[in-house]
Amino acid sequence: MAQKVKLSTIGESLGVSTATVSLALRDSPLVAEATRERVKAHALEMGYIYNRRAASLRTSKSGILGVVVHDIMNPFYGEILRSIEMELDRSRQTFILSNHYDRVEKQRDFLETLMQLGADGVIMSPAIDTPKEDMDLLTQNGLPTVFIARSVPGVDLPVFRGDDKFGISLATNHLISLGHKRIAMIGGTDETSTGRDRYEGYVSAMRKAGLEVKDEWRIQGPRTKAAGFEAASQFLALPDRPTGAVCWNDLAAIGLMSGIARAGLRPGIDISVTGYDDLEEASIATPALTTVWNGQPEVGRLAARALLDRIEGKHTPDGDLTLIKPELHLRQSTSRPVEGA
């Protein structure tokens, strides 16, 4: 490869100082119009590549943003990420992504890497049981941070997420209004605040309607299609089997429906199923899934926007909770319970 082109290379070949070249390339009003153009043209011609790490060393701005989620292969996070990507595209920031798979050490490693790289900020959906100290590390190092979907108790940072209690009540009430009396809740875990909120929402909707809630109707765990599929047999084997299932998310719901179909029953007719998130996929599932839209694009967009604002010093108040209002999207996976069920 040819000798590396740097600011001074351009300067020398043009008979001006490095300072001028630097200023010119960044459109400073301190250099004359004519010079600026000569410099830019020359830089292009010589194949100059801006060295961000040198710049960042001097300015302590890296243009790097960190994003940490549970698992990017989960389309729920995928959709959020997509909208973060769009929002960031406009602002010349590069983002670095990591999954934590709910392992705090992996998450900590990544946060450390971000600090080493001098990241400008972090968007995170923290791992279960993330200790407050890990978050303190970030603030001590002056890393602006916002939470999406989840948060860490006792840590005062902006949170962007859907209103879980309300959202799950939409699904539960929908089944109740169709005439279902025995309704299970499948998937998710009480280890996250989101999990607890949704379970609470489900229970209180049931109670409000004067319906019984049984412990064995709560099948904790499933968050993926595979797990939902597995859970089907457990669900179907329930004594006095429920006629409806409110699922943790669309993935679990779709998996559950698959499992139900595999067992020879008709999801949407014999068993009503609701999802949560309204992934793109929900509408083409068989049957099309009744689900709760959870505002992924909004969450991503607002979180990214808020982070950029924080980085620019527009100090939005700490600990702000932004709740996106979920909406029920009716499709074919729910219907009146069959006679005598």
Partner DNA sequence: AAAATATCCTAAAACATTTTAAATTTAAAA
Partner DNA sequence: TTTTAAATTTAAAATGTTTTAGGATATTTT
Query: What's the closest the beta carbon of residue 239 comes to its own copies, in angstroms?
Result: 26
Q: Which helix (H) or strand (E) holds 225?
A: helix 225-236
Considering the rule CB under 8 A, would residue 1 count as an interface residue with its own copies?
yes
Considering the rule CB under 8 A, would residue 46 count as an interface residue with its own copies?
no
User: Which of residues 10 and 308 has its CB atom nearest to DNA in the complex?
Assistant: 10
Considering the rule CB under 8 A, would residue 268 count as an interface residue with its own copies?
no
* Part in contact with DNA (CB under 7 A); list of ranges 2-10, 121-129, 207-215, 252-260: 2-10
Among 38, 68, 75, 161, binds its own copies (CB under 8 A): 75
Phi, psi of 59 (to 5 degrees): -90, -15
Integer Cα distance of 85 and 301 in angstroms: 9
Considering the rule CB under 7 A, would residue 117 count as an interface residue with DNA?
no
The answer for residues whose C-beta is within 8 angstroms of residue 73's C-beta and 6 or more apart is 99
Tell me the HSE value of 121 on the side-chain side, using a 13 A CA sphere: 22
User: Which of residues 3 and 154 has its CB atom nearest to DNA in the complex?
Assistant: 3
Contact 293, 326 (CB under 8 A): yes
| Beta strand residue intervals within the chain, DSSP E | 64-69, 94-99, 121-124, 145-148, 159-162, 183-186, 218-219, 244-247, 272-274, 291-293, 321-324, 327-329
Among 6, 106, 181, 331, binds DNA (CB under 7 A): 6
Considering the rule CB under 8 A, would residue 233 count as an interface residue with its own copies?
no
Structure tokens at 50: 């801006």
Q: What is the rounded end-to-end Cα distance, in angstroms, of the chain? A: 75
* CA-based nearest residue to 167, from 248, 256, 272: 248
Considering the rule CB under 8 A, would residue 202 count as an interface residue with its own copies?
no
Among 7, 69, 168, 232, binds DNA (CB under 7 A): 7
Query: What's the closest the beta carbon of residue 224 comes to DNA, in angstroms?
Result: 41
Considering the rule CB under 8 A, would residue 299 count as an interface residue with its own copies?
no
DSSP states along 203-222: HHHHHHTT----GGGEE-B-
Q: How far is CA 135 from the centre of its chain?
A: 18
Structure tokens at 126: 């923290």
Considering the rule CB under 8 A, would residue 94 count as an interface residue with its own copies?
yes
Query: What's the closest the beta carbon of residue 118 comes to DNA, in angstroms?
Result: 9
Integer Cα distance of 279 and 7 in angstroms: 48
User: Which of residues 33 and 240 has its CB atom nearest to DNA in the complex?
Assistant: 33
Q: For residue 44, give the 3-state DSSP assignment.
A: helix
34-93 binders of DNA (CB under 7 A): 34-35, 48-51, 54-55, 57-60
Among 33, 133, 215, 240, binds DNA (CB under 7 A): 33
Considering the rule CB under 7 A, would residue 19 count as an interface residue with DNA?
yes
Considering the rule CB under 8 A, would residue 44 count as an interface residue with its own copies?
no
* Part in contact with its own copies (CB under 8 A); list of ranges 7-15, 115-123, 144-152, 235-243: 115-123
Among 25, 35, 40, 96, binds its own copies (CB under 8 A): 96
Integer Cα distance of 302 and 8 in angstroms: 41
Residues that bind its own copies (CB under 8 A): 1-2, 47, 49-54, 56-57, 62, 64, 72-73, 75, 78-79, 81-82, 85, 94-97, 99, 112-113, 115-118, 139-142, 225-226, 229, 255, 257-259, 261-262, 280-281, 284-286
Residues that bind DNA (CB under 7 A): 4, 6-8, 15-20, 22-23, 25-26, 30-35, 48-51, 54-55, 57-60
